[in-house]
Chain A
Amino acid sequence: MDKKVYAIRMEKVKKIIGKKVILKEINLGIERGTVHVLAGPNGAGKTTTLRVMLGLLKADDGRIKVLGASPGDSHWSKVRRLIGYLPEDASLYDRLTGIENLYYYAMLYTGGKREEALELVRNGAKISGLSKNVLEKRTGGYSKGMKRRLLIARTLMHKPLLAVLDEPTSGLDIRSAINVRRLLRDLAREGSTLIVTTHNLLEAQYIADQVSFIDRGKVVCTCNVNEALDMFNANNLEEAFIRATEGPRNEH
């Protein structure tokens, strides 16, 4: 009997957009308190998997459980309070300052409790690593890296039980990327579950407890990093990924 405690379970999940089958069959079990990396080529279905998992897109078939609830359940909005989600192409409100951007989300997460929200803002400001002076400026003038740092801070400031980050380090300089990886590891150590998609498999090797390779709308394999290296007789995750996804391809 499987005694693992899962933050997320997806069974035979299928998603069709228009006439195109984007997810053929996603089976995924992500344990609580782990950092799980979803890896796969462009168009493999990583982002759609995340969106379906979080209820932003409706699955056409299959079962999904996220922190014990299914998207669309009556108490789903309460579950959303426990989740932090950073979409790949997420953006900030350019006419709001950095602080205001954090405050807006903090108020939405705390249901308008000002003191709690301000605490989250303080935490977010710390995570972002941006100076007070920068945070008091409108984000329209921020560099791409600064925006990304603030977005990550906004996603993690309420210490979510489940953080879902789509390419979190894209656009960050090396130092900031290292800081983010460290932050993700710290968060996992505190008990949060993290799901991260990335193209950077060396980064994945550094942060992941487990990795799932997605290819053409299917999970090809889910295993520990070391297991993956052994299974595919690879020196690193990049090699393992190439071997896992080898075979005839029909590009869309």
Chain B
Amino acid sequence: MSIRIIAWKEIIDLIRDRRTLAATVLLPLFGMPALALVAGALASVQLVHVYVAYSEVQSKSIAEKIASQTIIKLRSQGLKAQVIVGPPLKNLTNIDVYLLLPKGFYENLTSIGRPVNVYLRVLVGSVSASTARNVIKGVLNDLSWGLAYKRVEKLAQRANITLNPWNVLVPVRVIEGFYRPGGAPAPSTQAEVATTARFIELGLFFVVNPAIVYITDAILGEKERKTIESLLMTPTSTWKLLAGKLVASSLIGFVAAMADTAGLLVYFMLLARTGLKITLGLIALHATTSAILVFMTASTVIPFVARSQSVRAGQSIAVIFTSLAAVIYFAALLVDLSKLPLMVKVVLYSIPFTHAALAIHYYILGMKLRTLLHELIMLAFTAASLFAGAKTFSSEKLILYER
């Protein structure tokens, strides 16, 4: 009962703290979508200046074709482009990318065996120039393949051979497939979802932070607001006091985690063109893992925070925990946590945050029992930390100020 009462007070206290509440729910909910929207909006208002120069009149029509293809591709990426076709320039001021079709371009293009050189000049240090460069290279690549196809076709005609030019141009075809760790085939969509899962593992970091902040405030805030002494003199036992604060911090943290999940979902919807895929199962798993992670994080921090003599010391501990989580979840984006050498695994597996990433990792691989195991390990960490927190709780440290 005391746990419920303590949790009730913490929740009321937090709900009425509108700024914190707004930061709890609105930041994760709108933070990531806003990031995608702002990045997209800024890119769409940015004008990319491209100049396609032709040295001979015969090359003009090809220059115009390259220009129109470039505009289409840049627009498809949400970029505004100004592509000018004209004679060669001496001064490249205000040009992001300059493409020159030199003298002899047309003659070489229409020959059967000569290389066709073009010159591409790119403005250094410009993001839009870099994007335009990639787009133009893509357009030139298409032109090159088309040219190669025609050349092979012509050679075949001259040699009086019937063939499909693509078999000459691309003789080796890769037929790709995916499989699960057990060897069973996996659809290609699962590989795409796995990529999304890595970003979701990174997103777990956003779940950790609020939980640490709330539990630190719930315990050390009592000291800061000078309410701790009276509270410790009530008949409530230490473990009930900590458990009540844990429940309240976890509930608020869970709301933040749900907002984070929703934000993540909208983020991926906005960035749909990147090819990242998300499934209902993955969303549900993320929500569940987030809830347990919030609970575990808050309880793991308790033994350390409850022995801090000052709010500043508590905040330092919070920063250490947050940094540790950031390292784990960033690493999960880049490496397979399950495939590391044993010694590295031992170290990583002793860090509670690792298990949230592993739970998602194994779910994607279709190993649901492993997912369950790692969720249970997180719950075990929670119980052990709460026990340690209650056992090592020191009212003396909370009451006295650092000397």
| A interface with B by C-beta (< 8 Å) | 17-18, 20, 51, 54-58, 77-78, 80-81, 83, 85-87, 89-96, 100, 104-105, 107-109, 111-112, 138, 151, 154-155
Contacts and interface: CB of A to CB of B under 8 A. Distances in A.
Contact of B227 (A91, A109, A138): A91
A80 B234 CA distance: 6
Given A95-B12, A100-B12, A86 B230 contact: yes
B226 A56 contact: no
Contacts of B108: none
B234 A105 contact: yes
Interface in B217-276: 225-227, 229-237
B90 interface: no
B232 A56 contact: yes
A112 B5 contact: yes
B176 interface: no
Given A56-B399, A57-B396, A96-B12, A111 B235 contact: yes
B396 A56 contact: yes
A96 B9 contact: yes
Contacts of B5: 104, 107-108, 112
B173 interface: no
Interface string B359-403: 000000000000000000000000000000000000110011001
Contacts, number: 86
A111 B9 contact: no
A96 B4 CA distance: 16
Contacts of A18: 403
Q: Kindly name the residue among B229, B231, B232, B400 whose own CB sees the greatest number of chain A CB atoms within 10 A.
A: B229
A94 B222 CA distance: 12
Contacts of A20: 403
B124 interface: no
Q: Kindly name the residue among A96, A107, A112, A138 whose own CB sees the greatest number of chain B CB atoms within 10 A.
A: A107
Contacts of A108: 2, 5-6, 231, 234-236
B16 interface: yes
A92 to B, nearest CB: 7
A42 B167 CA distance: 96
Contact of A17 (B225, B234, B403): B403
A128 to B, nearest CB: 15
A92 B234 contact: no
Contact of B9 (A86, A91, A104): A104
A85 B235 contact: no
A100 B10 CA distance: 12
A111 B1 contact: yes
Given A56-B395, A96-B13, A85 B229 contact: yes
A90 B9 contact: no
A105 B227 CA distance: 12
Contacts of A56: 229, 232-233, 395-396, 399
Contacts of B232: 56
A194 B4 CA distance: 31
B394 to A, nearest CB: 9
A57 B234 contact: no
Contact of A51 (B2, B230, B399, B403): B399
Given A80-B234, A111-B235, 7 more contacts: A17-B400, A90-B226, A93-B225, A95-B16, A105-B234, A111-B2, A112-B1
Interface in B5-22: 5-6, 8-9, 12-13, 16-17
B343 to A, nearest CB: 41
Contact of A80 (B4, B8, B233, B403): B233
A109 B13 contact: no
A105 B5 CA distance: 9
When A and B form their complex, which 5 residue pairs have the shortest distance between CB atoms, in order from nearest?
A112-B1, A91-B226, A95-B16, A108-B234, A85-B233
Given A56-B395, A108-B2, A93 B227 contact: yes
A54 B395 CA distance: 11
A104 B8 CA distance: 9
B13 A95 contact: yes
Given A90-B227, A91-B225, A92-B227, A109 B234 contact: yes
B244 to A, nearest CB: 10
Contact of A57 (B17, B225, B227, B399): B399
B231 to A, nearest CB: 8
Contact of B235 (A54, A57, A58, A80): A80
A54 B1 contact: no
8 contacts: A18-B403, A57-B396, A90-B230, A91-B225, A92-B227, A93-B9, A95-B16, A112-B1
B23 to A, nearest CB: 16
A112 B233 contact: no
A66 to B, nearest CB: 11
B2 A112 contact: yes
Contacts of A112: 1-2, 4-5
